[in-house]
Amino acid sequence: MRDPRSIAVIGVTGYTGFELATLLLRHPGIAKPHFYVRETHGAHCLSQLFPQLRSWGEAPLRPLSVEAIARSNAGTAFLATPHEVSTELAPEFLDAGLRVIDLSGAFRFASADTFSAWYKLPTPHASRLGDAVYGLPELYSERLGSAKLIANPGCYATSVILALHPLRQAGLLAPGHTIVCDCKSGASGAGKELRRDLHFVELEGNFRAYNLFGHRHTPEILEHTGLPESQVVFSTHLLPIPRGILSSIYATLAEAHTPQDIEAIYRKFFAGRALVRIHPAGTLPEVQHVVKSNFCDIGFALHADGKRLVVVSCLDNLGKGAAGQAVQNLNLTLGLEERTGLV
């Protein structure tokens, strides 16, 4: 008998996997999770790999075995794995009767062509894409509760979609006008793989743009804002800080509005969504306000002409941008309050 509160976590050695482990180990609504990695290096408990977890209680660490997980009573599997690994493992766990929450980009798109074009990987999992629900609770909570496969959103995409979707839905954006999504992220967003451009001496005191017109989160933004690619410029930058995202979004409104109008639209859209915090008109969020939390903070500045708008959206790329949002999705599937284990 599968228990959805019995959790198997596959992949825990990266930044996102470790953040997920810390959230699940202190989560009050689930059993102690079991962690699976391809190579345990002789360790039997997660705290043997991460000594900072020694006081967190038992955290069994086991070599990855799909068969062993399928034979257990685990009802939920988190995949904190590379995209190509998720494409292989998710269908096997689904076939075994587990719910899957995938933190990679493997299942974020309805079209296999979109995945292969942007991720430059084959899509042997194409038949499963239609089963996946995009795991952005503020937009799709009514579908997430019963979802068997949840595709956790990208970090940049979360910050931009939450900022733009209310404006798009309200019909405020001027047709044909370019929207610039100017986004900056801490270095943990690039992952734990050893790369020269992520060395301390390359990052410290530096600030640079990357993947212009080619970032993999672009199609997520387009799909979930309903904006055409021709209208969106999405630029990404690497900040010399460990974690956090600040997105400045420049838009033109179809008609003049007051700051009170804009604030009211955001507050109405996110009413009851406790993990999105709207700043009063004219005040702006900062990275330090959201680091090590699962909040997305949104503020804006409106020009005196009432049409030129800058929206600033901040979140922690490892929290609301990854592991925290995955736990938020878990809470929805378990019928728990969304903030359980998060704040």
Q: Which residue numbers are catalytic? A: 155
Q: What is the DSSP string of 22-67?
A: HHHHT-TTSPPPEEEES--TT-SBHHHH-GGGGGG---BEEE--HH
Q: Specify the 3-state DSSP secondary structure of 232.
A: strand
How are strands ordered across the β-sheet holding 74-79?
Answer: 61-63, 34-37, 3-10, 74-79, 99-102, 149-151, 132-134
Inter-residue contact 339 to 275 (CB < 8 Å): yes
Nearest Cα neighbor of 165 from 252, 42, 264, 270 is 270
3-state class (DSSP) for residue 221: helix
Q: What is the 3-state secondary structure (H, E, C) of 60-77?
A: EEEECCHHHHHHCCEEEE
| Contact assessment for residue 238 and residue 185, using Cβ atoms and an 8 Å cutoff | yes
- Which residues fall within 8 angstroms of residue 9, CB to CB, at 6 or more apart? 17, 20, 21, 24, 33, 34, 35, 36, 77, 78, 80
Strand partners, 276: 296
